[in-house]
């Protein structure tokens, strides 16, 4: 039979796909802050809940030219919705180029811990394979690969001093050249973007609570995430991403790192405070850890989240709506 279909005449156009809100989420993941664990979870969740997980194979280009920003924003914005886009990239201002600003999420960790994890990961990889690091850093000289972390810090090697230590803040400050300069300007702009563009910035030391809040705020993407994370089979996969051959620097070296990363720590403590405010609002308590003999900055410090706040005047759903409207 050849002819024109009368289906549309009889039934009208097919109903439009009902999208969750928000339908555009960006996870501009910070390196060595648990993002490989979260991406493993997202792959499972995208199949389970039917959202479009858009990942990037580019891992070493976080700073973009204006044209590169425009091209990436165009590619992200035209992805099938609902989508969750993830890549190691400094904050992108979609509205600057006429696009709809998506909802951002991210996770950070104690800056010294992050630095140490990256230092040894670049040299020795993780439990997924002893040769991964050779593929990742094939041109690293042997003397550099086995450079003692204390020597690197105390003798002020470039890898262990600024501006390379100024790492977390640019992910939230953005693509402006000043975002890469350690200082108050980048710090304050990063804080502003956290307040205005990020639905949630969690801390890795309290990952289970981060997942609980993501499930609460973005159920279409993260429903059941904590159950999946706690599944023994998934834990086995997660353990393979642990960096190998890490050693603890001397207290003197750690104190020097701490001083060099003072802006990073000011930002970390600010994010941590905001995260704990959210936890209290939704009735989550932090678990107090027993004191440890290891250096203070190499482990999550004891948490001092206050008791949950009973705020009957402000509805939680209204609060979420206000966040989404930013």
Residue 262: closest CA among 317, 183, 201: 183
Helix axis angle for 111-124 and 251-260, nearest 10°, is 110
Write down the catalytic residue from 11, 59, 88, 220: 88
Backbone angles phi, psi at 281, to 5 degrees: -60, -35
Q: Assess whether 220 carries a catalytic annotation.
A: no
- Please, how many CA atoms are within 13 Å of residue 316, restricted to the half-sphere of its CB? 12
Residue 27: closest CA among 101, 107, 109, 115: 107
Residue 204, sorted as left (phi over 0), alpha (psi -120 to 50) or beta, turns out to be alpha
Residue 271: closest CA among 211, 179, 198: 198
Residue 286: closest CA among 270, 304, 310: 304
Any idea which residues carry the catalytic annotation?
88
């Amino acid at each position: 039979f050849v002819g024109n279909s009368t289906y549309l005449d009889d039934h009208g156009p097919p109903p439009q796909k009902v999208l969750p809100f928000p339908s555009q989420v960006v996870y501009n993941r910070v390196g060595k802050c648990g993002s490989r664990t979260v991406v493993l979870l997202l792959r499972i969740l995208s199949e389970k809940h039917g959202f479009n997980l858009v990942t990037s194979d580019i891992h070493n280009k976080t700073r973009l030219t204006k044209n590169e920003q425009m091209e990436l924003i165009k590619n992200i914005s035209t992805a099938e919705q609902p989508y969750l886009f993830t890549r190691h990239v400094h904050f992108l201002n979609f509205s600057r180029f006429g696009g709809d600003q998506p909802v951002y999420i991210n996770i950070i960790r104690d800056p010294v811990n992050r630095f140490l994890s990256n230092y040894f990961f670049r040299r020795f990889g993780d439990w997924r394979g002893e040769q991964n690091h050779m593929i990742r850093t094939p041109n690293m000289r042997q003397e550099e690969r086995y450079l003692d972390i204390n020597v690197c810090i105390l003798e002020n090697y470039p890898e262990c001093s600024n501006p390379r230590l100024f790492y977390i803040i640019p992910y939230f400050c953005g693509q402006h050249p000043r975002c890469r300069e350690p200082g108050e300007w980048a710090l304050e702009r990063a804080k502003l973007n956290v307040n205005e563009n990020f639905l949630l910035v969690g801390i890795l030391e309290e990952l289970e609570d981060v997942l609980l809040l993501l499930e609460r705020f973005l159920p279409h993407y993260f429903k059941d995430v904590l159950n999946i994370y706690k599944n023994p089979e998934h834990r086995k996969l997660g353990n393979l991403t642990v960096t190998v051959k890490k050693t603890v620097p001397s207290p003197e070296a750690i104190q020097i790192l701490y001083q060099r990363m003072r802006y990073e720590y000011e930002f970390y403590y600010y994010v941590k405070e905001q995260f704990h405010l959210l936890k209290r609002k939704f009735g989550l308590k932090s678990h107090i850890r027993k004191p440890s003999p290891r250096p203070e900055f190499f482990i999550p410090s004891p948490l001092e989240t206050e008791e949950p706040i009973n705020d009957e005047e402000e509805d939680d759903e209204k609060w979420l709506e206000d966040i989404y409207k930013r």
